[in-house]
Structure 1
Amino acid sequence: MIRSMTAFARQSTQFEWGSTVWEVRSVNHRYLEPSFKLPDTVRQLENNLRDALRNTLNRGKVECSLRIQAEGSISSTRLSIDDELLTQLVATSEHVQQQLRESAPINPLQLLQWPGVMTEARTDDEVICTDALSVFTTTLQQLLSSREREGAALKLFIEQRLESITRITNDIRHQMPIILKAQQQKLIDRVAQFAVELDKERLEQEIVMLAQKADVDEELDRLEAHIAEVSRVLIKGGPCGRRLDFLMQELNREANTLSSKSIVSDTTQAAVELKVLIEQMREQIQNIE
């Protein structure tokens, strides 16, 4: 499976204690470079998040941000009482009353106002961390699916260009004998035009030199070999962006050599078309993982 490095995923999930919103976006990069924007309550999750990314992705600059919204409605607020502390306060108050010989009743509201007796129940941070990590895993799978969909489109784009390159290469191979024969005849006609009698052996040497200079069979063979290798890599899939980028450099090298050996405008134009197609592929391959 070919994967792009450009993708975006967003996952919003509601829990009893509140909600989480994960946003993960990735762009092309030479290596895997993650960054995180996390609330302080889940800051300890960063190592786990990095491990999850390393186990799922290979390359790309990945930005991960998390927003946590705790429930703030009155109906969701839960109050708790420290019974042990309250018992101690009651006992202490009764002891004070006995010492003062006062019979005034103990005021419950005053006891509840004592620091630490009544607290607002809060969700355990560990619960929030567990839920946030679970949602991140789901969000990461969404990101992966997005990268695979775009990767499939990139693969199709590259395959279409490979077909065009193959067609151009076959045309050049088919036309080369005709081009060489025409150039040989042109040389003979030019010699005849000047009514100069040349040594037949010398003329044959010039024809051989012309044929050697224009011989591009080796370049065409390497082009076909590189095309076959690109097709094989695309079929194999996986993290192959660097391999494909190297093959684009090799394809471009052969196209340049083909252009430098051109002796007619047709092969020059064909070489230019090859370089345009190779550059189009190279630009898209920059986004492949």
Structure 2
Amino acid sequence: MTLSSMTGFARADGADGDFRWHWEVRSVNGKGLDARSRLPAGYERLEVEVRAAVARHLNRGNCQIGLQIDRTGGGADLVVNEAALERVLAVVERLKGRVEAEPPRLDGLLSLRGVLELADTEEDEADRERRDGLLIETLNEALAALVAARASEGAELERVLGEQIDTIERLARDARDCPAATPEAIRARLEDQIARLMDTGADLDADRLHQEAMLLAARADITEEIDRLLAHIEAARALISGDGPAGRRLDFLAQEFNREANTICSKSNDRALTAIGLELKAVIDRMREQVQNIE
């Protein structure tokens, strides 16, 4: 199973005689699943079914759903919304003498949103339920297309993440094999520093210095950090190749990657190891950006 992106767009059209409709669905990344719909007046009754359909197809993402209805055929009549027209005329009357303007024209009034409407011819409850079913059926087609679009982008994300994880593994092994990171190198560096301190002639306790040096050597050892990084890499690859949404868990692993890289940099007192640690952090940051868009 490939990863799924949270970004996508799809549309689907349907018709029933002279009654036509058009669904558009788009999604972007989000912490959870948030579905927001824009339905024409009179179709608010579909809100619950729309949300249920989205939940059946998607697990995460901010999803926008829009429905457009075309009722210009023989199944609809033009009617004036008298209440809306009266409200507009009342506003015009209140503004007389306060705003210089030409008197409103009929074509201008009728072009205002909500003044002129298309009204369906009378239909019984059975016809309405049948048409609602067709509308939701078309929505499911649009959502299925959205899932396919998100999967297509997810396949590209999987490729990019795979390359980044390979790079993280290479850098982790480079850090482990860095000559400056070996216990022998750390011990030799500390012994040299102790010798120089003793050569200063200062009244220093040699035994205490060696004890401190041993503690510093233990703290500078990055073996545990490398082992945890390699374990996280295996877990990330298992998530990518596994079933089900992986975005949240990959995001958690990316945070763990970053924590280990920070520790490696803080323990390093060698230029080569520090350079590896900084490059590791840069790759992990790019990985975290990609992970934010995975379902």
1:149 and 2:152 aligned: yes
Q: Does 1:287 align with 2:288?
A: no
CA distance in 2, matches of 1:7, 1:217: 42
Of 216, 219, 228, which aligns to 2:222? 216
Q: By how many angstroms is 1:42 displaced?
A: 3.2
Alignment of 1:97-112 (within 5 A): none
TM, length-normalised to structure 1: 0.75
| Structure 2 counterpart of 1:247 | 253
Counterparts of 1:130-279 in structure 2, within 5 Å, are 130-176=133-179, 180-186=183-189, 191=195, 205=211, 208-279=214-285
Count residues with an aligned counterpart. 246
What code does the residue aligned with 1:233 have?
L
Tell me, yes or no, if the aligned pair for 1:166 and 1:224 is still in contact at 8 Å: yes
Q: Is the 8 Å Cα contact of residues 42 and 125 (structure 1) preserved in structure 2?
A: no
Query: Secondary structure in 1 aligned to 2:129?
Result: helix
Shift of 1:19: 1.9
Distance (Å, rounded) in 2 between the aligned partners of 1:189 and 1:130 = 82
1:65 to 1:193, Cα distance in 2 relative to 1, 3 A: closer
Q: Secondary structure at the match of 1:40?
A: coil
Hey, what does 1:90 align to over in structure 2?
none
Alpha carbons of structure 1 residues 126 and 210: separation in structure 2 relative to 1, 3 Å: closer
Q: How much has 1:200 moved relative to structure 2?
A: 8.3
Q: Is the 8 A contact 1:7 1:26 kept in 2?
A: yes
Is the radius of gyration larger for structure 1 or structure 2? 1
On the 8 A contact 1:42/1:128 being kept in 2, the answer is no
* Secondary structure of 2:22 counterpart: strand
Q: Percent identity?
A: 39
Alpha-carbon distance between aligned partners in 1 of 2:187 and 2:133, rounded to the nearest angstrom: 79
1:57 CA drift (Å): 0.9
Q: CA RMSD in A?
A: 3.0
* Alignment correspondent of 1:5: 6
CA distance in 2, matches of 1:187, 1:29: 50
Residue number in structure 2 paired with 1:16: 17
State the 1:142 CA deviation: 0.2
Partner amino acid, structure 2, of 1:235? S
* Secondary structure class of the residue paired with 2:293: coil
Give 1:244 shift.
1.1
Aligned residue identity for 1:171? D
Higher deviation after alignment, 11-20 or 247-256: 11-20
Q: Which residue identity is paired with 1:276? A: A
5+ unaligned residues in a row in structure 1: which ranges?
A: 78-119
Map of 1:39 onto structure 2: 40
CA pair 219-176 structure 1, distance change in 2 beyond 3 A? farther
Residue 17 of structure 1: CA displacement?
Answer: 2.2
1:156 partner amino acid:
R
Q: What amino acid sits opposite 1:163 in the alignment?
A: D
Paired with 1:257 and 1:278, the residues of 2 have a C-alpha distance of: 14
**Partner AA of 2:20 in structure 1:** S
Distance between the aligned counterparts of 1:121 and 1:51, measured in 2? 29
Q: Quick check: 2:20–2:70 contact (8 Å CA) kept in 1? A: yes
Structure 2 gap segments, 5+ residues each: 77-119
Distance, in Å, in 2 between the alignment partners of 1:132 and 1:242 is: 33
Select between 183-192 and 127-136 the one with higher mean Cα deviation.
Answer: 183-192
Conservation of the 8 A alpha-carbon contact between 2:23 and 2:142:
yes
Shift of 1:150: 1.1
Paired residue type of 2:37: F
State the distance in 2 between where 1:255 and 1:121 align.
68
Q: Which amino acid aligns with 1:16?
A: G
How far the C-alpha of 1:121 sits from its partner, in A, is: 6.1
Note the C-alpha offset of 1:9. 0.5
Does structure 2 retain, via aligned residues, the 8 Å contact 1:9–1:139? Answer: yes
Shift of 1:183: 4.8
**How far apart, in 1, do the equivalents of 2:146 and 2:240 lie?**
21
Deviation, 1:193, is 10
